[in-house]
Amino acid sequence: MALEELEALSRSMVLHLRRLIDQQDKGTKLIVDLTQERDYLQAQHPPSPVKSSSTDSTLSPTSSLSSEDKQHLAVELADTKARLRCVKQELEEKTEQLVDTRREVDQLVLELQKVKQENIQLAADAGSAQAYQEELDSLWFAGAGADPL
């Protein structure tokens, strides 16, 4: 894989990871918003003081909500948690892919440096060979003009 392709892939993965992090942040914000909404609803409908303390301790935090509201909130919370788990899993997978790609890029960079060094050496050898060829040609030309024995 070419270095440019790996760099493009790395940039693409970074953008994808940023999107995943944004999705995770949105999921977390949704959970916080739902929790705040639940707390607000609890504050709006405090338990009546007439009830005994034993019943107060057994009441759930959403006891003032209708069963339909409770069910809706439970479904929404479960859905949000499921999405959050999926996003976390995807983030872990993409992070592993990014680490693997970075390693591959590092290896290719090292290989590229070796090839560049070899190219420099070959260019120097080619220059030397050309100089030797020119010297040989001049000696041959000089020898051709000399008197034969």
Task: Report pLDDT digits (tens) over 18-74.
Answer: 888 888 888 888 888 888 888 878 777 766 555 444 444 444 555 577 888 888 888
Of 143 and 58, which is predicted with more confidence? 143
pLDDT of residue 61: 55
Give the Cα separation of 115 and 142 in Å (integer): 40
Interatomic CA distance for residues 95 and 100, integer angstroms: 9
Identify which of 4, 7, 16 has the alpha carbon closest to the alpha carbon of residue 96. Answer: 16
Q: Return d(Cα 25, Cα 133) in angstroms, integer.
A: 69
Determine what percent of the chain is predicted with pLDDT higher than 70.
Answer: 84
Q: Which residues contact 122 (CB under 8 A, 6 or more apart)?
A: none
3-state helix, strand, coil split of the chain in percent (to 5) is 85, 0, 15
CB-based burial of residue 64 (10 Å sphere; 0-12 exposed, 13-18 middle, 19+ buried)? middle
Q: Please report which confidence band the pLDDT of residue 143 belongs to, taking 50, 70 and 90 as the band edges.
A: confident
Virtual torsion, Cα 86, 87, 89, 95, nearest 10 deg: 160
Q: Give residue limits of the domains in the chain.
A: 3-46+63-141
CA-only gyration radius of the chain, Å: 37
